[in-house]
Structure 1
Amino acid sequence: MIKKFEEFFMDEEAQLENLEIMFSPETVAVVGASSREGSIGKAILQNLLQFGFEGTIYPVNSRAKSVMGIRAYPKMKDIPDTIDLAVIVVPSKYVLDIIKEAAELKVKGAVIITAGFREISEEGIEMENKFKEIADTVNMRLIGPNCMGILQGHKPFLNATFSPQSPISGRIGFISQSGALGVVVIDYATQLGLGFSKFVSLGNKADVNGTDMIRNLGNDPNTDVILAYLESFSDPWHFSEVAQATSRKKPIILVKSGRTAAGARAASSHTGALASVETALEATLNTSGVIRVASVEDLFSCAAAFSKLPLPNGPNVAVVTNAGGPSTLAVDSLIAQGLQLAKFSDETIENIRPNVAAEASLNNPIDLIASGGPEQYRIALNGVLEDENVDSVILIFVPPLIVNTLEVAKVIEECVTSHNKPVLGVIMGRNELVENRALTYHFPMYAFPESAVLALRAMTVYSNWRKSPIEEIEDIIPPSVETDKIIERAQQSEDFVDYLSQEDVEIILKEYGFKFPKSKIVSDGMGLIKAFKEIDSPVVLKMATKSITHKTDKGGVMVDVRTEDELLKAFDKIHKIYDMESVPDNDRAVLIQKYYAGGVEMALGVTVDVQFGPLIMVGSGGVLIEVLDDVSFGRVPITQTRARNMIRKLKGYPLLLGYRGDNPVDLQKLERAVIQLSELASDHRDIIELDINPLLALEIGDEPVVLDARIRIKKS
């Protein structure tokens, strides 16, 4: 019988519903349940029982009549009940048959603990594809294979993992692509007193992936913070869309492994060479509001703050301490992370001064010295929290013999709960009594100031992103039909060259609103003199050949040419370079162009990432682009806010504002140029590299001018 077309595709509502049922099932079948000590089948069954699962558990074991005192069944089909969740822990050769059986029984979801598939062979990849095909016929969701399981930390409780450590219930959702790391994470979180709303080990991602779980956790009312360890993205574009929507509701903190490439990709353009293996990912995460950290330790440093504290309203930080050295470390770290010390009001200092030691320093940091006890901390902390110039506080306490650490911790707790500003505690030196009560406190505790600053910086960046407006993507320029024609003509040429001619480059960029100086391409001395008289001095002479990529590197750009004698010498020099580089006779043109003396040289570019698509680059122009590595990237499409932020990130940004008496450039027109380039890259995906370098940013009222550009296309 021929199936209906829609039967081959999973309905999105059923997809979401069945994934949620996996975490709150009424019935669980453990296929491969065992009483054998040290077996995964026993560990999972034991965790289900001990964590408080209130539904019905059905062990499946072909040889045993009961497992751990619970009646066992030879096969799932022998179970006299519908099954919501199947947890599969049998050898890999049996998994396909079990997936088929689960599909026949219309099981809502299956967690495949078993390893031995995609991670070891091509045959394993094919097998996982079969699992997915079978599951899709009945909308069954799959987690794994090669994973450690899933858990839900709130009612209805579920611990379908083989973790030896029982997790704490909490409001953190954790997604891990690594099963082994998942075991460590549960143990580490328990030590820190951090609890989970949900935990999922994705394994090989035959079906459910990180994006699916971010969407699930984003809609979960029991989850406040999402943590993730991911090694790859199944669909980067979908990830970006889901992450951006979710980040508007709650923070996503990510550790993404694979920061370095085994081998760098060869790139002929400046833009391509400057786009590292991380560039596309960083651009995507910045756009999506995702907070990326370097390690699992940093992940939990951030989680502790995000799960306990309100977001800061700004970057102004107060530091309260009883020791100089740690506060110096805190201040150094704050400045390095882009935060700043708050300037206290006179009223704040006047209120604190009579109540602390005469030797105490009330500049920021406030140093209460070693004798500062609970009451001094109370007065200082309340004082800075009430100061409208303070957005957040880092409180440092080094326990001296004369002050009770627990009493200080209680004071911090009282102050934190009576104000709506974040306070991060740095309690240096171990104190078991304090640590044992850490779970009940409404502020995070850190062993060192750098960890607290890292978390505070993440909160500040995220707070700024949350407050940024949601911009609609509007096309300011309609797609160019002429550009399509130029690219198609070049692609169909028998003598295909991937770089377009200077004439075609200028036409395309003008189609998208870019301005060029008056110029002309010439091939002989007579044409050169004629063009020189038409354009007026001073002029620039440049090589106009497809055979040489970086013209400046070869000495093929001569600026500020004012006389005919200088003109002819420059023309002759270019042709000598052509001779040295063996440039063909039919590719020896020269561009003569009006010379601009003012403005700030910038660079714009396009490069295409295999996974993430077109990226837009903005940077300092001329040869400085690679010398200073002063660039920032954004993923298409670029909004005006994103363009503005990209420009402001540059080290050379102060030059655009007017430096040492120079006039400031028109930043709005520069932002528009970035958006124009984004639209060009979005409309014409056959463009694989584009460089505008330099783009001369001019003073307010003047459009930026393209002084040199090239476009590389792929062959159709």
Structure 2
Amino acid sequence: MRLHEAIKNISSVAIVGASPIEGKVGNTILGNLIAWGFKGEIFPVNPKYSEIYGIKTYATVSELPRVPDVVVVAVPPSEVANVLKDSAAKGSKLVVLITSEFEGDLSSFSEPVEKGVLRIVGPNSAGISISKFSLHASIEILPEKGNVGVIAQSGAVGGVIISHLSELSSGISFFLSLGNSMDISVEDGLEYALHDSSTESVIAYIEWLKNGKAFLELGSMLRKEGKPLCVIKGGRGESSEKAARSHTGGIATDYSIFQAAVRQIGGYLASDIDEAVEVCEVLRRIGERKFERPIIVTNSGGVGVISLSIMDELGIKVKEPKNLDILPEKFRKRIKLGNPLDLGGDASIEDVLEVLKRKELREEYDIAALIYVPTAAETPERISKAIDDASNSFTLPTIGLFAGAGSREVTKRASRFIPVVSSPSNLARTLYALKYVGLS
């Protein structure tokens, strides 16, 4: 049974180990399910209680009045085997094992999987989330709903990815925390993303692969479907590979081989979480084709030069503009044409945006980067409103980078209108991705 078949429709969830006590894992999961607006039936399971939060509570899965589509398990390891047997006998298709601290071989729990009646996420999972069902059966923070699939072999890393997506006014279509992957794997998550119409891109944190061939095939299929895949690899050297093995119990994949595999399928391999999220968001929003001729428009020559230096290291070349008409009239006598095109520190956001609306840009460029450092007189509200008013008139697809005081708030507000990045390095790497990972 495929993962996308197991969770084709979710209308009921059982939480084994549900608790009314704040701080308990079973309490967090129950609270998150309710807070994210799950409209299906919720079945708390705990023999210690008759009800939790006014919801009738059952002693075992076998006593439930109907078959739960998903069973979330947050009980000690010694109790897991019986829960799995009950869940399989009841007819549930998916079990999410939050339970951790397993010792030794996990194969004793695999009988229901081998019989094809049950799929298992975990153990040591942080849970799953599926936006179209308003399902957040997880211990992680409440995400924003959106179109990005998140697959993680670390619940904490998955939570950081979700948090950064929210900072960019974006959200998830699904979140799959794999834990030790005794059954459900990275490859299952990619296959789900391929079949899920609400998923437009995928961010994956990977420490090891269960099936390299399937990874290559599914990654290539995602690319053909126009769904960018951005990957963070845990375990890139001897020390980190050892830590990865200790973390999930898997066999870490050699980094050089993995790097070649991601390149082969047209994915993007990021060095850290922020880079992965920001590059993936740009690819999702404007990466429908390759872009090779960037222009940087800025009011800060220094930040522009830093970005250009990193672009040079990555092999991204820029050419200086030839047409003076790309400048607003008031700048033509005092600004020297260049790339970056530096309008000076006294240029307002409106001045910079005016350049991005010049039709003449199209003659020499196919992508623009807006680098802006707000002046003391400019508020985040003013800057974001100016971008909102101007963005539909931009001549080229545009990426924003905001630095200086208030830049975090400006970035979040502006990200509603244009894709944004948080650093010169990520701007350069995004332009690299658009050139080499673009979809056509």
TM-score by length of 2: 0.90
Structure-2 separation of matches of 1:415 and 1:386: 15
Give a deviation string over 1:199-256, Cα, whole Å, max 9, x none: 1100011111001101111221111110000100001111111111112221100001
1:390–1:424 Cα change, 3 Å: same
**Residues 1:131 and 2:131 are matched in the alignment:** no
Higher relative contact order, structure no. (Cα contacts within 8 Å, ≥ 6 residues apart)? 2
Structure-2 separation of matches of 1:340 and 1:428: 23
From 253, 261, 285, give the equivalent of 2:262: 285
**Retained in 2: the 8 A contact 1:321–1:365?**
yes
Aligned pairs for 1:505-524 (under 5 A) are none
**Retained in 2: the 8 A contact 1:343–1:389?**
no
Structure 2: stretches of 5+ with no match in the other structure? 242-252
From 139, 143, 148, give the equivalent of 2:121: 143
In structure 2, what residue type is equivalent to 1:237?
K
1:388–1:310 Cα change, 3 Å: farther
In structure 2, what residue type is equivalent to 1:132?
S
Give a deviation string over 1:509-540, Cα, whole Å, max 9, x none: xxxxxxxxxxxxxxxxxxxxxxxxxxxxxxxx
In structure 2, what residue type is equivalent to 1:115?
S
SS at match of 2:68: coil
Structure-2 separation of matches of 1:211 and 1:74: 35
Structure-2 separation of matches of 1:306 and 1:420: 18
**Residues 1:389 and 2:364 are matched in the alignment:** yes
Name 2:2's counterpart in structure 1. 15
Give a deviation string over 1:477-519, Cα, whole Å, max 9, x none: xxxxxxxxxxxxxxxxxxxxxxxxxxxxxxxxxxxxxxxxxxx
Task: Calculate the aligned-residue CA RMSD, in Å.
Answer: 2.4
**Retained in 2: the 8 A contact 1:315–1:460?**
yes
Aligned-pair identity (%) = 27
Name 1:186's counterpart in structure 2. 162
**Retained in 2: the 8 A contact 1:385–1:421?**
no
1:405–1:168 Cα change, 3 Å: closer
SS at match of 1:452: helix
Aligned pairs for 1:62-77 (under 5 A) are 62-77=47-62
In structure 1, what residue type is equivalent to 2:151?
I
**Residues 1:356 and 2:331 are matched in the alignment:** yes
Name 2:213's counterpart in structure 1. 237
Aligned pairs for 1:289-688 (under 5 A) are 289-311=266-288, 313-346=290-323, 349-352=324-327, 354-356=329-331, 358-383=333-358, 386-402=361-377, 406-419=381-394, 421-431=396-406, 434-435=410-411, 437-446=413-422, 448-463=423-438, 466-467=439-440
> After TM superposition, where is structure 1 displaced by more than 6 Å over at least 4 residues in a row?
none
In structure 1, what residue type is equivalent to 2:190?
I
**Retained in 2: the 8 A contact 1:58–1:71?**
yes
Name 1:215's counterpart in structure 2. 191
**Retained in 2: the 8 A contact 1:76–1:101?**
yes
**Residues 1:228 and 2:215 are matched in the alignment:** no
Structure 1: stretches of 5+ with no match in the other structure? 1-13, 265-275, 468-716
1:180–1:365 Cα change, 3 Å: closer
**Retained in 2: the 8 A contact 1:89–1:112?**
yes
1:420–1:370 Cα change, 3 Å: closer
**Retained in 2: the 8 A contact 1:173–1:223?**
yes
In structure 1, what residue type is equivalent to 2:220?
Q
The higher radius of gyration belongs to: 1
Give a deviation string over 1:402-431, Cα, whole Å, max 9, x none: 556644444444444345743111111132
In structure 2, what residue type is equivalent to 1:296?
I
Cα deviation for residue 393 of structure 1 reads 1.1
**Retained in 2: the 8 A contact 1:356–1:372?**
no
Give a deviation string over 1:356-378, Cα, whole Å, max 9, x none: 26322222221111222244223
SS at match of 1:151: strand
Name 1:112's counterpart in structure 2. 97
1:309–1:378 Cα change, 3 Å: same
Cα deviation for residue 73 of structure 1 reads 0.8
Cα deviation for residue 263 of structure 1 reads 12
**Retained in 2: the 8 A contact 1:33–1:42?**
yes
Structure-1 separation of matches of 2:111 and 2:301: 63
1:363–1:17 Cα change, 3 Å: closer
Cα deviation for residue 44 of structure 1 reads 0.4
